[in-house]
Amino acid sequence: MSGIIPQCLGSFADSLELLNLRNNKLHGPIPQTYNNGTQLTMINLSQNQLQGSVPRSLVNCSLLESLDLGNNHINDIFPFWLKTLPELKVLILRFNRFHGAILNPNSSFAFPKLQILDLSHNGFTGKLPSGYFHTWTAMKTIDVNQLTYVGGVVSVVNNVNLTLTNKGVEIVYLYILNVFTAIDLSSNRFEGEIPESIGILKSLHMLNLSNNNLIGQIPSSLGNLTELESLDLSRNKLSGEIPQQLTQLTFLEFFNVSHNQLTGLIPRGRQFNTFENNSYEVNSGLCGDPLSKKCGNFEASPSSKFEQDDDHSWFPISKSDWIVICMGYGGGLVVGLIVGNALTTRYHEWFISTFGRNQKKQGRKKKSGRRN
> Do residue 227 and residue 339 come from a single domain?
no
Q: Give the pLDDT confidence of 101-144 residue by residue, as tens digits.
A: 999 998 888 999 999 999 999 999 999 999 999 999 999 987 65
Residue 162 placed within a domain: yes
| Phi and psi angles of residue 43, each rounded to the nearest 5 degrees, phi first | -130, 120
Residue 47 placed within a domain: yes
DSSP 236-262: SEEEEPPPGGGGG-TT--EEE--SSEE
Is the pLDDT score of 4 beyond 90?
Answer: yes
Residue 280 placed within a domain: no
What percentage of the chain reaches a pLDDT higher than 90?
Answer: 59
User: Measured between alpha carbons, how far is 64 from 55 in angstroms, rounded to an integer?
Assistant: 14
> Do residue 198 and residue 326 come from a single domain?
no
User: Measured between alpha carbons, how far is 264 from 280 in angstroms, rounded to an integer?
Assistant: 12
Residue 299 placed within a domain: no
User: Measured between alpha carbons, how far is 60 from 210 in angstroms, rounded to an integer?
Assistant: 34
| Domain termination residue (choose one: 240, 258, 279) | 240
> Do residue 228 and residue 326 come from a single domain?
no
Residue 175 placed within a domain: yes
> Do residue 333 and residue 232 come from a single domain?
no
> Do residue 24 and residue 151 come from a single domain?
yes
User: Measured between alpha carbons, how far is 17 from 64 in angstroms, rounded to an integer?
Assistant: 9
User: Measured between alpha carbons, how far is 55 from 216 in angstroms, rounded to an integer?
Assistant: 37
Going by C-beta distance under 8 Å and a sequence separation of 6 or more, which residues neighbour residue 15? 39
| Domain termination residue (choose one: 196, 223, 240) | 240
Residue 344 placed within a domain: yes
DSSP 177-190: ETT--EEE--SS--
DSSP 88-133: --EEE--SS--EEE-PPPSSTTSSTT--EEE--SSEEESB--HHHH
Return the amino acid letter for 47.
Answer: Q
| Domain termination residue (choose one: 223, 240, 257) | 240
Q: Give the pLDDT confidence of 258-270 residue by residue, as tens digits.
A: 999 999 999 999 9
> Do residue 235 and residue 323 come from a single domain?
no
User: Measured between alpha carbons, how far is 71 from 95 in angstroms, rounded to an integer?
Assistant: 5
DSSP 58-87: GGG-TT--EEE--SS-------GGGGG-TT
What percentage of the chain reaches a pLDDT higher than 70?
Answer: 74
Residue 246 placed within a domain: no
Per DSSP, 144 falls in state: G
- Confirm if 75 and 53 have CB atoms less than 8 A apart: yes
Give the total number of structural domains in the chain: 2
pTM of the model: 0.77
> Do residue 220 and residue 322 come from a single domain?
no
> Do residue 24 and residue 156 come from a single domain?
yes
Question: What's the burial of 338, exposed, middle or buried (CB within 10 Å: 0-12/13-18/19+)?
Answer: exposed
> Do residue 232 and residue 340 come from a single domain?
no
Residue 104 placed within a domain: yes
Q: Give the pLDDT confidence of 314-351 residue by residue, as tens digits.
A: 334 444 444 444 555 555 554 454 545 554 454 445 44
> Do residue 234 and residue 323 come from a single domain?
no
> Do residue 218 and residue 328 come from a single domain?
no
- Confirm if 74 and 94 have CB atoms less than 8 A apart: no
> Do residue 229 and residue 343 come from a single domain?
no
- Cα–Cα–Cα angle for 88, 221, 173, nearest 5°? 35
Q: Which domain CATH number covers 38? A: 3.80.10.10
Domain that holds residue 224: 2-240
SS3 159: coil
pLDDT-derived band at 206, boundaries 50, 70, 90: very high
SS3 370: helix
Is the pLDDT score of 165 beyond 50?
Answer: yes
Return the amino acid letter for 106.
Answer: N
